[in-house]
Structure 1
Amino acid sequence: MFSSHDGLCSIGELAERAGATVKSVRFYSDNGLLPEAARSAGGHRRYGPEALDRLRLIRSLRALDLPVPEVRRVLEEEDEGAAGAPGGALEDAVAGHLRELGSQLRALRWREAALRLVHESPPAERAERLRLVGAVGAPPSTAPLARFWRAWLPPRMAAPAASAFLERAVPQPPDDPAPAQVLAFARLYAFASDPCTGGAACQPEAHRSAGAREAAVLYGGLAEAYDLAGAQLLGDREPGPGEALDCFVDAYASAYGVRDTPGFRRLLAGWLAADPRLDGYWELVSGVLTPPGTRPAPTPGGCHDWLLGALAAERDPGTDPERGDPADAEPAAGTAPARAGARRRAPAAA
């Protein structure tokens, strides 16, 4: 209770008791956050005892850097007696501010690593690295990488299948990157923004003839094969026959309506060998995802290369009674490889 005869206090006394400035109290009052109880005969503001707790609450919220509109919503909910309700204004405001602060911290960590990269670069490489990192925002956007893959994937590929592949193919920038990871992402960003000068020639030919069902079957099977191959890579196993290779071949055979035969495997090896390569992309992805001094994690590209090596390592030119005759590898009329023309090539996902 204030000591005055009417139980009210002046703006100066309120500010002193709350440890605030008169200017800030006046600002909160003018913005409707701190209502006045009355005005004196001379027109001076007068506040009731409840104003002290309200002012302290306002200052606590502002100390968390919550903007005035968020503070207003919290106070309105407080007035309605629902401040502690789940999902209330205070909880929403704090959660939103945490997300915003997290984004700001990621941007600051990215800028710090970029500055360290430029600072530590050899003088001959400094200008080029500055150009690369300067083209990338902070925190960096992965939109150019997603656009690159959407142009690479079969045009009629179903959205769920395309999204599932993009989750694997587009690396998320690390929250606390090392300078080398910043450089790898900047180079990846430049690669995806201008991957080649050949336009459609950069895309596997058979992608342009694969339908939505074929593309979904193919990339769904490849995802499973890459998981299996990734385990082989982590175990330092040399490319060779096994479940991973069988799954890899089956993805192509199922997508194009043919049987898995030794002949088909030889044809498939030729098709994939002739397709465009994205080795540089996957090497940069590995650089983005791998902190210095740690073992690189398998990427879809690395798994694809392991499977190609396993396919090439097979030496079975004869007939396999369980898989049929090599002649059975010829795709049926109307399937994607048949429509691709004389230079039939199955699509390589990596």
Structure 2
Amino acid sequence: MDGGNLYSIGELAQRTGLTVKTIRFYSDRGIVTPADRSHAGYRRYAPETVARLAFVRTLRELGLGLDVIRRVVDQELTLGEVAAEHVSALDVQIRILRLRRAVLTAAARREPTPKEMELMHRLATLSQAERRHLIDDFLDTVFDGPPNGSPLAAARRSMTPELPDNPTDEQVRAWVELAELSLDPDFRASERRLADEHITCLPAGPPTPPRPDVFAIARDLVAPAVASGINPDSSQADSVVAALTARCARLYRPPHDTELYRWLLHRLEAAGDPRRDQYFQLLALINGWPPPERLAPLIDWSVTALRLRAAG
């Protein structure tokens, strides 16, 4: 150190761990400025430059650009202001990285075609408004237009995903899968048929409180039998089937009493599509709901039990 307690660039490099080239670059950009020059024209820096360079190094490691750093060290911006802006920028980057990770993870599991990969990426990066439009289009197809007092308004709400502002990787992957399902024409048509048949079988007259659908009734009545290990062809299953048919006949209006078994079979077989279970599993994950019980085993039990008794 010479020149009245001033440091050369080499001395600054030794004290800060930065290279001479880096310090010279910072000096050329005006982030640190020499206090004086030697007789030979070499730059000399004040002792406080060591602390200033340590601060600059910290800000660089946090990812701040040199223009922002210069304004901070010159007190044109406060650290709080810079930190807040940087957090916002990082949030955007994190969201983008999370979406990319979710798409790549899903792709690793499925071996998609290039076209499917493109679709997955597009679905993952939709804006909130675009996601809402996609789901509204699906639900409008299933429920024949927007709710507007429809008896199926509650059912529509129960099928509506709400991806949070800061979703987890799992929620993003679930959203991509659910969105793909909602675009499947065959799945749309299947769900539309179920909704139409539900409306058709509602009793005539003034609006009444929402009725549970046939699948919910089967779930409530059959789940205990399945959990207890009751076989659908056993005599113990008779009371379960009787309760199922009685409750459906009471709440709905099947075509004819003698066709009740066939009507129930048709409804339950239509609901046996494994994509329905998949949809509601994904929906629960997206919305942060408890995982729903899978209906497929209960529907299989009910269908078997009804077929045996309809044949008899």
* Structure 1 length-normalised TM: 0.46
Structure 2 CA distance for partners of 1:169 and 1:302, relative to 1, 3 Å: farther
Question: Would you say the 8 A contact 1:39–1:46 is kept in 2?
Answer: yes
Q: Work out which of the residue numbers 26, 33, 37 in structure 2 matches 1:36.
A: 33
- 2:86 matches 1:93: yes
**Whole-Å Cα distance in 2 between the matches of residues 303 and 69 of structure 1?**
63
Shift in Å, 1:232: 6.7
Question: Would you say the 8 A contact 1:11–1:25 is kept in 2?
Answer: yes
- 1:19 aligned residue: 17
- 1:282 aligned residue: 276
Question: Would you say the 8 A contact 2:160–2:283 is kept in 1?
Answer: no
Structure 2 CA distance for partners of 1:197 and 1:160, relative to 1, 3 Å: closer
Question: Would you say the 8 A contact 1:37–1:47 is kept in 2?
Answer: yes
Question: Would you say the 8 A contact 1:12–1:22 is kept in 2?
Answer: yes
- 1:136 aligned residue: 120
Question: Would you say the 8 A contact 2:103–2:120 is kept in 1?
Answer: no
- 2:45 matches 1:54: no
Matches within 5 A, 1:227-238: none
Shift in Å, 1:113: 5.8
**Whole-Å Cα distance in 2 between the matches of residues 188 and 43 of structure 1?**
69
Q: Work out which of the residue numbers 161, 167, 175 in structure 1 matches 2:161.
A: 167
- 1:335 aligned residue: none
* C-alpha distance after superposition, 1:263-282 (max 9, x if no partner): 43344985995697583433
Question: Would you say the 8 A contact 2:143–2:192 is kept in 1?
Answer: no
Q: Work out which of the residue numbers 151, 165, 182 in structure 2 matches 1:192.
A: 182
- 2:104 aligned residue: 111
**Whole-Å Cα distance in 1 between the matches of residues 140 and 167 of structure 2?**
19
Aligned residues: 266
Structure 2 CA distance for partners of 1:68 and 1:207, relative to 1, 3 Å: farther
Structure 2 CA distance for partners of 1:305 and 1:56, relative to 1, 3 Å: farther
| Amino acid of the structure 1 residue aligned with 2:37 | S
- 2:142 aligned residue: 152
- 2:252 aligned residue: 265
Shift in Å, 1:217: 6.2
Shift in Å, 1:19: 1.8
| Amino acid of the structure 2 residue aligned with 1:148 | F
**Whole-Å Cα distance in 2 between the matches of residues 174 and 105 of structure 1?**
8
RMSD: 6.3
**Whole-Å Cα distance in 1 between the matches of residues 283 and 187 of structure 2?**
27
What SS is found at the alignment partner of 2:252? helix
What SS is found at the alignment partner of 1:137? helix
Question: Would you say the 8 A contact 1:132–1:186 is kept in 2?
Answer: no
**Whole-Å Cα distance in 2 between the matches of residues 50 and 7 of structure 1?**
11
Shift in Å, 1:12: 4.4
Shift in Å, 1:59: 2.0
Shift in Å, 1:104: 2.0
* C-alpha distance after superposition, 1:226-260 (max 9, x if no partner): 9989x979967989999xx99xxxxxxxxxxxxx9
Greater per-residue helix proportion? 2
Question: Would you say the 8 A contact 2:281–2:291 is kept in 1?
Answer: no
* Structure 2 length-normalised TM: 0.50
* C-alpha distance after superposition, 1:310-348 (max 9, x if no partner): xx89x9xxxxxxxxxxxxxxxxxxxxxxxxxxxxxxxxx
Shift in Å, 1:136: 1.3
Structure ID, larger Rg: 2
Shift in Å, 1:186: 6.9
Structure 2 CA distance for partners of 1:173 and 1:79, relative to 1, 3 Å: closer
Question: Would you say the 8 A contact 1:70–1:93 is kept in 2?
Answer: no
What SS is found at the alignment partner of 1:167? coil
| Amino acid of the structure 2 residue aligned with 1:298 | P
Q: Could you list the runs of 5+ residues in structure 1 that have no partner in the other structure?
A: 119-127, 247-259, 291-295, 316-350
Shift in Å, 1:305: 5.7
Shift in Å, 1:106: 5.9
Structure 2 CA distance for partners of 1:90 and 1:237, relative to 1, 3 Å: farther
